[in-house]
Structure formats: C-alpha cells, structure tokens
C-alpha cells in the first residue's frame, strides 16, 4: 500500500523540519527507505536530563542522516554504533530484517546539496518510490513514560521480557534515560552475565534490576572487586548470592562502606547474642534472615521491645530466641496478647504449663491462632477486638 502524497506534508509538520538540509535529507530518505528513514527520525536521546522528560533531541539529527548517506549500506550500521553509540540499535536490527534494497542515492552526495532543488509534495513520484516511503508516526522527542519507546527499542523489549518493571524505573529520569541509551548486546548483557555469576537466578534478575536500576551506572570492575571482597571475608558463594538478592543495593556500596557496615554489625550483634560461636555464620544468619532488623525504624523497634518486655513481662533471654517478634506489626502482638490475657491464657514462661511461645504468637495466621492457641472461635476474637 503506497502512501499518498498528502501524508508527506503532515510528516513535515510533525517533525518540525525547517531548512533545506532537512528537506534534502528527506529526499535521501525517500531514496533509501527503511533504514535511513528510521535512523533519521530516531535521533538519539539527549544526555542531559534537565527536566523530567526523557529527551530525544533532534540536535544531532542532521549529522546522523548525513553520515548515513555518505556511508555504504553494509558498513553504516557499524559506523553508527561507533560514532554515535547512543543511536538505538533496534533501528539497525529492524531495518536489517527488511530486504536490502538497491539504493538510488549513489548520485546524491554531500557536495550536491546546494544544487538540489527542494522536493515539492505535489511532484508525482513513481510507484516504486512511493511504496518505499515509510511514514510511521515519529517518536515523541520527550516523554514522561517509557511506553512511547518500548516498541522501538530492543533493549527495553528484552528488559520487559526479563521481568523488569519499567513503570517503576521510568519514575527515575536518570535511570530511564540511561536505559534508553544503553545497548543490550554491549552493556546490559555483560551486567546480566556478571549477576548470574554472582548467583542470581534468571527469574530473579527482573526483580533485582527493578529495585537496583542504578547498577547500570556502576563500573563492572568495581562490582567485581566488591564481590571479591565479600568472598574474601569467608562468605560462601551461596551466601553472597543470597545477600545480594535480599539487599539489592549492597553491590552499590564501596568497599570501605561495606567494611564499615560489616564491622558495625559484628560488634552490635555480638553484644546481644552470646551463644553463637562462629562469627561468620552468625553475621550471615543475621544479615540474610533478618535484614529487616538492620534496616528497621528505630522508634518502631523500641516501641515493640518496650511492649514485649514491659507489658508482656518477657525476659530478655526469651526475646533473643525469637527475633521475629520485631518483624511483626505491633498491633498484631498487642491484640493477640490482650485477647489471651482476657481469656487468662497469657502464659509466656516456658517452665509453666500452657506455655505459649513467642513465635507461635506472632507467625501463625488468625484462624489457627484462635483455634489452637486461644481455644476460642474467630467470631469471639472479632467481638473482643471491637471492645478494644
């Protein structure tokens, strides 16, 4: 289906072309359909993210098209990658799929620009030329969402297939701009292989990258050094994998910062847990299983601790055995404790009969808690809650 000549002026307007050079480029684009056209209109995104838009500037549009036309068909793709690495490679790949058409532009060179008359939209053109016009709607030069670019960017498509949540990344403009500029084959693939090396599974890569999108701006060498440092601290590969999975930003810290944090936690946790012998196991255990405690809000921790120790009268050594009480919401502990007190079943001393352990208090769901621990129905529990 050949495009009518009426579509061309619309195209002109939407692209805001203004000068002779742009018109000439269009001619070239008509003559070399497919690849050149897409290149010409997919000007690379600007590096600067001065406002909250993903910038696809038309600044270097002219240079890119001129470069294209002066190269041969086969070598232009490599040239583009090397000279303007921020050009979307997807255009290359898509256009390479289309059949290589004999170029008509051998007679059009840079020197002839000035002599060439401007193309009039009313000029009749042959069927072959008409058929080779591709007038896809141009990509928006700036946008607040990656939706507009996902169909035209192989990088973004591959990331979506991996499971990366683009709607979360597009809220951070620097990361989004970075993703648009990166080449999947060159940059992202290396990063993914490195992450797989560290031990993150394929199906976890998406979640990891969504959380830590800033990792693409990190130097691969630095990341390798940090992983080597962690391994040197006698963490096994599986340990490091789990640590990185649970705390995705761990790899973004510099080695000094990692060192400081590990030392701090070793000191802190040593004071409260005296029985654990091996330091390595203990740091791994706490960092991985209870990462929430290290990142938790201090006020909430102290409130929970105050309630558990003072109101429920549970001594320190029992609290230490069940650190997961600090992970549950305080209201849950309060409600259940008050219900048990109301029923007269609040017995937390292991020596006495009818002892209720703290982990049973907090971690089991409501129905089982009511039936087995409190020996009451869920309706009774609800009625009690409405009297609080």
Partner 1 sequence: MGSAGLSRLHGLFAVYKPPGLKWKHLRDTVELQLLKGLNARKPPAPKQRVRFLLGPMEGSEEKELTLTATSVPSLVNHPLVCGPAFTHLKVGMGHRLDVRASGVLVLGVGHGCRLLTDMYNAHLTKDYTVRGLLGKATDDFCEDGRLVEKTTYDHVTREKLDRILAMIQGSHQKALVMYSNLDLKTQEAYEMAVRGLIRPMNKSPMLITGIRCLHFAPPEFLLEVQCMHETQKELRKLVHEIGLELKTTAVCSQVRRTRDGFFTLDSALLRTQWDLHNIQDAIRAAAPQVASELEKSLGPQLDTKELPSREWSWESQGPSSTLVPERGAGH
Report CA Rg, the chain. 32
CB of residue 44 to partner 1, shortest distance in Å: 21
Long-range contacts at 251-259 (CB < 8 A, ≥ 24 apart): 251/198, 251/212, 251/215, 251/218, 251/223, 251/226, 251/227, 252/212, 252/214, 252/215, 252/218, 253/226, 254/222, 254/226, 255/225, 255/226, 255/229, 258/226, 258/229, 258/230, 259/229
Region of 99 (left: φ > 0; alpha: ψ -120 to 50; beta: rest) is beta
CB nearer to partner 1: give 349 or 382.
382
Shortest separation between residue 382's beta carbon and partner 1, angstroms: 6
Tokens of 225: 């050094």
Q: Minimum CB separation from partner 1 for residue 362, in Å?
A: 15
Task: Decide if 97 contacts 37 (C-beta within 8 A).
Answer: no
Q: Which is nearer to partner 1, 139 or 230 (CB)?
A: 139
**Binding residues vs partner 1 (CB under 8 A):** 1-2, 33-34, 97-99, 101, 128, 131-132, 134, 145-147, 150-151, 156-157, 160, 163-168, 331, 334-335, 366, 382, 385-388
**Beta carbon of residue 174, minimum distance to partner 1 (angstroms, whole number):** 19
Give the DSSP letter of residue 45: B
Q: Which is nearer to partner 1, 76 or 242 (CB)?
A: 76
Question: Which C-beta is closer to partner 1: that of 2 or that of 238?
Answer: 2
Are 135 and 14 in contact by the 8 Å Cβ rule? The answer is no
CB of 263 to partner 1, least distance (A): 37
Q: Around Cβ 358, how many Cβ atoms within 10 Å?
A: 20
Identify the H or E element spanning 54. Answer: strand 54-55
Q: Nearest distance from residue 167's CB to partner 1, in Å?
A: 3
Q: Report the residue number, 257 or 329, with the smaller CB distance to partner 1.
A: 329
Name which of 2 and 276 has its Cβ closer to partner 1.
Answer: 2
Nearest to 218 by CA among 166, 178, 164, 258: 178
In which residue are the tokens 């098209």 written?
Answer: 65
Tokens (6 digits) for 124: 């009749």
Nearer to partner 1, 97 or 277 (CB): 97
Q: What's the min distance (Å) between Cβ of 31 and partner 1? A: 14
Q: Taking the complex as a whole, how short is the minimal distance between the CB of residue 147 and partner 1, in angstroms?
A: 5
When the beta carbons of 151 and 174 are compared against partner 1, the nearer one is 151
């Amino acid at each position: 289906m050949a495009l009518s000549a009426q579509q061309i002026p619309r195209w002109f307007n939407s692209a805001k072309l203004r000068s002779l050079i742009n018109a000439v480029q269009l001619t070239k684009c008509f003559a070399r359909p497919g690849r050149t056209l897409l290149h010409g209109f997919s000007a690379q995104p600007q590096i600067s993210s001065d406002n909250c838009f993903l910038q696809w500037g038309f600044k270097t549009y002219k240079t890119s098209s001129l470069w294209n036309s002066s190269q041969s068909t086969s070598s232009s793709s490599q040239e583009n990658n090397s000279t303007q690495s921020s050009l979307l490679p997807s255009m290359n790949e898509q256009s390479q799929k289309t059949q290589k058409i004999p170029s008509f532009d051998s007679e059009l060179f840079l020197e002839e620009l000035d002599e060439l008359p401007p193309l009039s939209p009313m000029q009749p053109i042959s069927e072959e030329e008409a058929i080779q016009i591709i007038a896809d709607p141009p990509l928006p030069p700036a946008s607040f969402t990656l939706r507009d670019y996902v169909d035209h960017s192989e990088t973004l498509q591959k990331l979506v297939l991996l499971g990366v949540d683009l709607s979360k990344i597009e809220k951070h403009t620097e990361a989004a701009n970075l993703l648009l500029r990166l080449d999947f084959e060159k940059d992202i693939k290396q990063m993914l292989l490195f992450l797989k090396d560290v031990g993150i599974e394929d199906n976890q890569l998406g979640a990891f990258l969504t959380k830590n999108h800033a990792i693409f701006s990190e130097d691969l060498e630095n990341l390798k050094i940090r992983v080597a440092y962690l391994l040197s601290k006698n963490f096994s590969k599986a340990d490091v994998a789990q640590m990185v999975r649970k705390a995705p930003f761990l790899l973004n810290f510099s080695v000094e910062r990692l060192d400081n944090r590990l030392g701090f936690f070793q000191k802190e946790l040593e004071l409260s847990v005296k029985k654990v012998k091996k330091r390595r196991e203990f740091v791994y255990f706490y960092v991985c299983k209870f990462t929430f405690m290290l990142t938790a809000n201090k006020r909430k921790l102290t409130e929970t601790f105050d309630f558990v120790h003072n109101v429920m009268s549970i001594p320190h050594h029992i609290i230490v055995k069940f650190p997961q009480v600090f992970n549950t919401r305080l209201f849950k502990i309060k409600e259940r404790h008050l219900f048990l007190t109301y029923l007269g079943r609040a017995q937390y001393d292991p020596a006495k009969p009818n002892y209720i352990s703290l982990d049973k208090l907090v971690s089991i769901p409501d129905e089982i808690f009511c039936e087995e621990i409190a020996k009451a129905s869920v309706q009774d529990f609800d009625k009690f809650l409405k009297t609080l």
